[in-house]
Chains A and B, each alone.
Chain A
Amino acid sequence: AQSVTQLGSHVSVSEGALVLLRCNYSSSVPPYLFWYVQYPNQGLQLLLKYTSAATLVKGINGFEAEFKKSETSFHLTKPSAHMSDAAEYFCAVWGHSGNTPLVFGKGTRLSVIA
C-alpha cells in the first residue's frame, strides 16, 4: 500500500525566496513519485516526476525535487519564488502496477508575498 504525507497545509514565502514543500511517502514497492500543481479553479498539471532514474528531477517552471530513499522523501524546491507560483501543490505516489491508482497527499497551498 502507498501513502503520502505533506507537511504543512499552507506555506507562505516572499517573492524571490526559496520554496520548499515537503513530501514523505510510504510504499511497499519502489515508488514512482509525482508533484502536481493546481491553480485556482483549474485541473491538475504535472510539475515533475521520479521514475527510478536520476534522483534529482527537474520539472517545469524552475521546480525540482530530490528523491531520497533513506528519508522516504521527495521534497519540492524552487530557488526563487514568483508570484505566479501561488497555487496548491500535491505530491502523489504510484505503485506502478497495473491499475493501481495515484495516491495523493492532502496538498500544500503556497502563497507568495510581494
Chain B
Amino acid sequence: EPEVTQTPSHQVTQMGQEVILRCVPISNHLYFYWYRQILGQKVEFLVSFYNNEISEKSEIFDDQFSVERPDGSNFTLKIRSTKLEDSAMYFCASRIGGSWSNEQYFGPGTRLTVT
C-alpha cells in the first residue's frame, strides 16, 4: 500500500540553524500539508500546498518557514533559523484531491529537537 514517507526520523539542530524536513507524498496525490505537534499538545496545521503554491497557512507559519516541491516527488519544509520553541514532531500529509477525496494520509513524522 502506498504511504507517505518522511526523512529524517529525528533531527537535532542548534538554535539559529536552518533545517529542511523532507517528505515524499503518495505519488498521485495533489494536496500536501505540514502539521506539527509540540510534545504533549495537539496536532496543529502549518501549511497546505496545491498546484505548486501555498493554499493556506496558519499563523504559526511565519517568515521563518517555507515549503517547496523541488521535483515531482519531494515536498520540503524549511525552517530558516530555528528557535527552541520549534522543537516538535512535524508531520507531512497528502490527499489525492477531488470532492470525493476526504482522507489525508500522514507520514510517520520527523522529530525536531532544537538545542
A-to-B contact residues, CB < 8 Å: 32, 34, 36, 42-46, 49, 51, 90, 92, 94, 96, 98-107
Contact = CB atoms under 8 A, between A and B. Distances in A.
B31 A99 contact: yes
B56 A44 contact: no
B108 A43 contact: yes
A106 B102 contact: no
A74 to B, nearest CB: 14
Given A42-B108, A90-B42, 16 more contacts: A32-B102, A36-B106, A44-B91, A46-B103, A94-B102, A98-B50, A98-B55, A99-B48, A101-B45, A101-B56, A102-B35, A102-B45, A102-B93, A103-B45, A105-B42, A107-B43
Interface in B29-63: 31, 33, 35, 41-45, 48, 50, 55-56, 58
B108 A90 contact: no
B102 A104 contact: no
Nearest to A109: B40
Interface of chain A: mostly helix, strand, loop or mixed:
loop
A98 B107 CA distance: 21
B109 interface: yes
A12 to B, nearest CB: 17
Interface of B: 31, 33, 35, 41-45, 48, 50, 55-56, 58, 91, 93, 99, 102-109
10 contacts: A36-B106, A42-B108, A43-B91, A43-B106, A44-B106, A90-B42, A94-B102, A96-B102, A102-B33, A102-B35
B107 A43 contact: yes
Contacts of B103: 34, 46, 49
Nearest to A9: B40
Nearest to B51: A99
Contact of B42 (A45, A99, A101, A104): A104
A93 to B, nearest CB: 11
Nearest to A46: B103
Contacts of B91: 43-44
